[in-house]
Structure 1
């Protein structure tokens, strides 16, 4: 079931990217760094398969980490869908929930795909998740600033939003680290997720 869900998520992402490219006004990405998203989102959604192929894991007899790949793909899909449905501009809390949920999903996927050695303690897993998530949240906010925030007429009001986004993204990453560390403790850690 996970492979089907993962492939459907990737297909939906491709469809939304094609729509954004063909009909930019319908995607609600105008003045929101659409060009950058058209490059970064496919790369983000392909990070796990590319890593899997380059590392030769498929030859080592391990199964592909479908759950991790789905978790890493969902934030990109959710962001595009949220923009397509104009949720970021019409639902006041959508941006905040998205930052928290997207970093939770992305960090959990990264921790499952690139898990530390099974002997690594839960505290280290939480710290790796927090370190990845906080760094990724900062890189994301810098990308938003470079792509479109600095050109907004409401630029003076963007700083508090950025601080909130960083806090929510980091909090989502912390929760992902705690969940993955707990999951590891509750079950036998497999060689491949």
Structure 2
């Protein structure tokens, strides 16, 4: 089921990105670096499963498809939000995405931290929340580099960036709590190394 979810998330994202490339000039995509997104989003969606596969190669571990799906989902949410012009038409959509997408992303990444290792729940929570804050900063730097520095959307950019950082970090913190408080099913755990 998780593998199918990953395939659907990836395909739906790539199809929308392909449509943006093939149908340029749609107003909801102008000035939002969709050329860069068309290349980077599929790569970022595949990065975590690829790293996991390289690290676990030959160990016989079952892939954590549910965690991978959580990591991939924010990319589909972002592209779909732009496709449906929700970022410009719905005032709170961007804020909801910064919180919700970081909640999804960090939940998936936090699930990949093996709970059977000796690290305490507090350390796992701190790692998940810290990763959320770090990724929020990296995301905002990426937004600035790809389209903010060229003068689009400069009005109110400072306040928007601060809000996005706070919401992304909050989403990462909530994910941290969920990761350490939610019991894992045995099928979601990788076999013990031995």
Per-residue Cα deviation, 1:146-191 (whole angstroms, up to 9, x for no partner): 111133355141100000000000000000011001014x766833
Structure 2's unaligned 5+ residue stretches are none
Matched, 1:44 2:55: no
CA distance in 2, matches of 1:10, 1:18: 12
Q: Which residue of 2 aligns with 1:111?
A: 110
Contact 1:103 1:169 in 2 (8 A): yes
User: 1:27-106 to 2 correspondence within 5 Å?
Assistant: 28-55=28-55, 57-106=56-105
CA distance in 2, matches of 1:125, 1:2: 23
CA distance in 2, matches of 1:4, 1:110: 19
Output the TM-score relative to the length of structure 1. 0.90
| Root-mean-square deviation over aligned CA pairs | 2.0
Per-residue Cα deviation, 1:21-48 (whole angstroms, up to 9, x for no partner): 1113348222011122122211111012
CA distance in 1, matches of 2:78, 2:112: 21
CA distance in 1, matches of 2:42, 2:114: 23
* Deviating more after overlay: 107-116 vs 134-143: 107-116
Q: Which residue of 2 aligns with 1:3?
A: 3
Contact 2:29 2:82 in 1 (8 A): yes
Matched, 1:17 2:28: no
Give the total of aligned pairs.
Answer: 190
Q: Which residue of 2 aligns with 1:166?
A: 165
CA distance in 2, matches of 1:183, 1:3: 21
Summarize the Cα distance change of 1:13–1:153 in structure 2 as closer, same or farther, 3 Å threshold: closer
Structure 1's unaligned 5+ residue stretches are none
Q: Which structure shows the higher helix fraction?
A: 1
